[in-house]
Amino acid sequence: MNMIMEDSLSNWRFCCVVSKANGEDPIGSAPTSEHCLALEMQLPWTEKNSHFGGHQFAPTLIDLPYGHYWGHLTPEILELLVWHNGSVTELYPFYRGWAGLSKFEQIAEREIWMQEGWDWLNYHKSGQVLAMDEADEEWAEVCINFSAENGSIKGAYEARVEASGSVMTAWDSGNQIPLEEVKQYRVSHLVKVA
């Protein structure tokens, strides 16, 4: 590791893994766990932000090893997110979808979660884009298959995802970055088919 990286890393306190074996708790309050949460942050050895999808400048989190993306998080919502002890509808604006699905599938998957509840986050899932407007990306029809780990619950949903407006955003950080129009999407039709 070069000296610049060593110096930069020494100024950051990373908290990605809580060791169950030796009971380490680098933040002083977390119980030991077999999974971790990774927060998006500026990398200390570059001028660029690391980014794994979702929204360009929002506090973003990926729940590992489960692969759930979250965005625009606030401190007030973290207890519900960590402990799963309330209504999933409170987390609707923050959930970005499961990493194993494509963009349109993730949009549909969030709507399914609202119907299925907390158990949805533990189901095995697969997705398929059935049809889409490849030229303009105005709509897509998707299928999401799911099953409980033990196979006792399984099924499928089909959804239509459509463009529903746009927002202006910057694709990078810095001074005088031009804003660009980005489509926003909604689920216009969702049905459980199996």
Cα separation of 177 and 179, whole Å?
7
Does 170 score more than 70 pLDDT? yes
- The alpha carbon torsion through 16, 22, 23, 28 (nearest 10 deg) reads -60
Per residue in 18-77, pLDDT (tens digit) is: 333 444 444 444 444 454 444 444 433 333 334 444 445 555 788 888 889 998 888 888
Higher-confidence residue: 49 or 80? 80
pLDDT at 146 over 60: yes
Selected residue with higher pLDDT from 54 and 148? 148
The 10s digit of each residue's pLDDT in 86-136 is: 999 999 999 999 999 999 999 999 999 999 999 999 999 999 999 999 999
Q: pTM of the entire structure?
A: 0.70
Per-residue buried b or exposed e for 177-188, using 16+ beta carbons within 10 Å of the residue's own CB: eeeeeeeebebe
Do the bridges between strand 61-64 and strand 154-169 make them parallel or antiparallel, or are there none, so unpaired? Answer: unpaired
Q: How far apart are CA 96 and CA 116, in angstroms?
A: 16
pLDDT exceeds 50 at position 167: yes
Of 73, 63, 79, give the one whose Cα is nearest residue 16.
63
Length of the chain in residues, anyone?
Answer: 194
**Cβ–Cβ under 8 Å, residues 61 and 70:** yes
CB 182 within 8 A of CB 169: yes
Q: Which residues contact 49 (CB under 8 A, 6 or more apart)?
A: 40, 41, 42, 43, 57, 173
